[in-house]
Chains A and B, each alone.
Chain A
């Protein structure tokens, strides 16, 4: 069975549509959504509705820090920009959409896989997995063989062997990587809705359980339209520029 892992959708309808269409063409049968459905982009309602529909059909989803912020409302500690986006997003979601975000769990398990937005050692603390050190910390905090997480917007693959030696790898899109099962793997598919590695194409990953092979994908999408909507919505202008530059 082939599963698609999509994360950091960030209210970017154009990116999510392109990713879902690509996933269908890859023969994906199962979806896992790793959080941050909202924030930054101009289409929170559409993205939340789409996620809710996928979950209704059997997809698994977890909550991200942006989802949590929108559920709780802006806090005084946030940067003014961030507070503005949270308020704007809340104003553009109805009660059922906010309820859906509120209902999302912090972690989900399926077989030997763990899904969590930020890390496994303290999911609600939202600490980032920047390097091997944090990857090892996260992998040591779970029995799961494969951890899939988001939060970090750049695609990355970490692994830890039985001797505790960790490695990291920046994947090449479209190449199937066999993941030998007797070590632990931490997979960061990269952001669908706000790529930040200099390439504006949307990120996601697929895992073929029969083959034991993981593939990272990059899907070009209409980021100009997504950017234009951000500008028209009176959201911070630099959020639009980010999509065009993939920064």
Chain B
């Protein structure tokens, strides 16, 4: 790579780069005043800045990221910064810093964005192994953030602790998009470099093989992180050559439980699933990973959960042999396609109160939806209402647990679907939520688990609806995803019953 040639090209048609004036506190670049250097990185400096004569939101703290460009600098810095300048303005939501402004390369390149207080997760690496609960918490928050970015057509491709921060409320924020790829933008990095791009320990096998458009690469990197936080060790070491990077195509990591005895089998299952060499054997979306991390009892345990040794030499040799010269299968062209192929469908089932015909109709609607989406995951949810004040009877008159009873009812309801569609266990989960407000519980669950589609029944009795309000109407109003409300059909009791005839408390 002739970096001189590259640097010269920066001043393309303008005869070279302007001489950089020193960056020091008080200097004003466009409408921003440099206040304090917060961070000196290999590729860029981060400055705290204030907006001169600003009319914006004064509560928003700002930082300016300025690339370190000197003569003969690695072009990766320049192209990476260019990529980041293109991508950051395209992103929105709580999981990225808010974009404010950018400055181009002909004068002073920079990006001004919202400052995320605090330090990155990098600091915690030195404290690994962390408490299991904390590993789960980190994993679930980062998976949630990743799902949101994948939905915005972005693959991050450099997920690692130093690129993860947290807002005060715990929301994970991903930073540094210098290696990222956005479906709707030209990929400037695709053709530029002849070495795999990424951070050695975290790079997915397909990234090592130059695939840059698979969101499941980010799940591999997250798996590496979770492994490290759980065990205190890196699953694939810290390779510094391409050959070293390629080892992950055929050498398994040591199972976490072999290093850390109190790692629960389900967590090992989750981590090793993230670290599968073939992307199609990993979680298909970050949303599915977040769902598993939030419902350990629903994780389907396979051989991965029980492994205490890495694969035998012979198995490794076989995999090495087949990895020779393999090319990854053509990954899907678009990030969002991958997500659309694996939607999460939530069936909200009122097992105790809904009429049998309504339950049947609900089941039929859900069956058709799952049938149309071969990669869909179905989460069956029922809400056990608890009193807002005071103690609840958690057992019924006969002394049986209400929770277990609901779970049994829910599984019974779903049985025809799981039988008809031959849903393997991993694609079907059951959740009994305990909450005073049914609608809020459903909306909250859907949001936390990145549900794509809620299917629920309209409340069967107009009397109940009149006195308790319509749960489905509230879910429709407050949920961020598609909601299908199933009715019993025209002429059914719920439509035909004159409102005045309903009895209170029916």
B105 at the interface (CB under 8 A from A): yes
A-B contacts besides A175-B185, A182-B12, A212-B104, 5 pairs, CB < 8 Å = A159-B188, A161-B79, A180-B85, A182-B11, A182-B106
Stretch at the interface among A69-77, A119-127, A165-173, A190-198: A165-173
A163 at the interface (CB under 8 A from B): yes
- Annotate A146-177 by CB proximity to B: 1 below 8 A, 0 otherwise: 00000000000101011101111101100101
Whether B104 lies near A181 (C-beta < 8 A) is yes
Q: How many of chain B's residues have a CB under 8 angstroms from any CB in A?
A: 29
Whether A161 lies near B186 (C-beta < 8 A) is no
Whether B187 lies near A169 (C-beta < 8 A) is yes
Whether B188 lies near A167 (C-beta < 8 A) is yes
24 contacts between A and B (CB under 8 A): A143-B13, A145-B13, A157-B186, A159-B186, A159-B188, A161-B6, A161-B75, A161-B79, A163-B2, A163-B75, A167-B186, A167-B188, A167-B191, A172-B184, A175-B185, A177-B184, A178-B86, A180-B86, A180-B105, A181-B12, A181-B105, A182-B10, A182-B12, A182-B82
Interface residues of B in 1-47 (CB under 8 A from A): 1-2, 5-13
A161 to B78, CA, bound (A): 11
A140 at the interface (CB under 8 A from B): no
A92 at the interface (CB under 8 A from B): no
Query: Considering only CB atoms, which chain A residue lies closest to B185 in the complex?
Result: A177
B190 at the interface (CB under 8 A from A): yes
Tell me which residues across on chain B come within 8 A of A162, comparing CB atoms: 5-10, 12, 75
Query: Considering only CB atoms, which chain A residue lies closest to B333 in the complex?
Result: A170
Q: How many A-B residue pairs have CB under 8 A?
A: 77
Whether B191 lies near A166 (C-beta < 8 A) is yes
Tell me which residues across on chain A come within 8 A of B8, comparing CB atoms: 162
A143 to B13, CA, bound (A): 8
A interface list, Cβ under 8 A from B: 112, 132, 143, 145, 157, 159, 161-163, 165-169, 171-172, 175, 177-178, 180-184, 212
Tell me which residues across on chain A come within 8 A of B183, comparing CB atoms: 172
Interface residues of B in 157-196 (CB under 8 A from A): 183-188, 190-192
Whether A161 lies near B188 (C-beta < 8 A) is yes
B232 at the interface (CB under 8 A from A): no
Tell me which residues across on chain B come within 8 A of A159, comparing CB atoms: 186, 188
- Annotate B440-476 by CB proximity to A: 1 below 8 A, 0 otherwise: 0000000000000000000000000000000000000
Min Cβ gap B100→A in Å is: 15
Whether A161 lies near B9 (C-beta < 8 A) is yes
Query: Considering only CB atoms, which chain A residue lies closest to B89 in the complex?
Result: A178
A183 to B6, CA, bound (A): 10
A236 to B11, CA, bound (A): 51
Tell me which residues across on chain A come within 8 A of B11, comparing CB atoms: 182
Tell me which residues across on chain A come within 8 A of B10, comparing CB atoms: 162, 182
Whether A178 lies near B85 (C-beta < 8 A) is yes
Whether B192 lies near A165 (C-beta < 8 A) is yes
Query: Considering only CB atoms, which chain A residue lies closest to B81 in the complex?
Result: A180
Tell me which residues across on chain B come within 8 A of A157, comparing CB atoms: 186
B interface list, Cβ under 8 A from A: 1-2, 5-13, 75, 79, 82, 85-86, 89, 104-106, 183-188, 190-192
Whether B187 lies near A163 (C-beta < 8 A) is no
Tell me which residues across on chain A come within 8 A of B106, comparing CB atoms: 181-182
Closest 6 CB pairs of A and B: A162-B9, A169-B186, A175-B184, A172-B184, A162-B6, A167-B191
Asked, given contacts A162-B5, A162-B8, whether A167 binds B190 with beta carbons under 8 Å apart, the answer is yes
Asked, given contacts A161-B192, A162-B10, whether A180 binds B82 with beta carbons under 8 Å apart, the answer is yes
Whether B5 lies near A163 (C-beta < 8 A) is yes
Min Cβ gap A203→B in Å is: 17
Query: Considering only CB atoms, which chain A residue lies closest to B83 in the complex?
Result: A180
Asked, given contacts A163-B75, A166-B191, A181-B104, whether A145 binds B5 with beta carbons under 8 Å apart, the answer is no
A235 to B1, CA, bound (A): 55
A162 to B4, CA, bound (A): 10
Whether A183 lies near B9 (C-beta < 8 A) is yes
A163 to B4, CA, bound (A): 9
Min Cβ gap B97→A in Å is: 18
Tell me which residues across on chain A come within 8 A of B13, comparing CB atoms: 112, 143, 145
Whether A163 lies near B12 (C-beta < 8 A) is no
Tell me which residues across on chain B come within 8 A of A132, comparing CB atoms: 191
Asked, given contacts A161-B6, A162-B5, A182-B106, whether A177 binds B192 with beta carbons under 8 Å apart, the answer is no
Tell me which residues across on chain B come within 8 A of A169, comparing CB atoms: 185-187
Query: Considering only CB atoms, which chain A residue lies closest to B17 in the complex?
Result: A182
A168 to B190, CA, bound (A): 10
Tell me which residues across on chain B come within 8 A of A212, comparing CB atoms: 104
A169 to B104, CA, bound (A): 22
A159 to B86, CA, bound (A): 14
A166 to B105, CA, bound (A): 20
Residue of A159, A162, A172 contacting most chain B CB atoms (<10 Å): A162
Tell me which residues across on chain A come within 8 A of B85, comparing CB atoms: 178, 180
Tell me which residues across on chain B come within 8 A of A183, comparing CB atoms: 9, 12, 188
Whether B191 lies near A182 (C-beta < 8 A) is no
Whether A177 lies near B186 (C-beta < 8 A) is yes
A46 to B459, CA, bound (A): 61
A166 to B184, CA, bound (A): 18
Whether A182 lies near B105 (C-beta < 8 A) is yes
A171 to B186, CA, bound (A): 8
A145 to B85, CA, bound (A): 19
A172 to B79, CA, bound (A): 22
A165 to B82, CA, bound (A): 15
Min Cβ gap A210→B in Å is: 12
Question: B104 touches which one: A143, A145, A180 (CB < 8 A)?
Answer: A180
A212 to B85, CA, bound (A): 12
Tell me which residues across on chain B come within 8 A of A165, comparing CB atoms: 191-192
Min Cβ gap A162→B in Å is: 2
Query: Considering only CB atoms, which chain B residue lies closest to A168 in the complex?
Result: B186
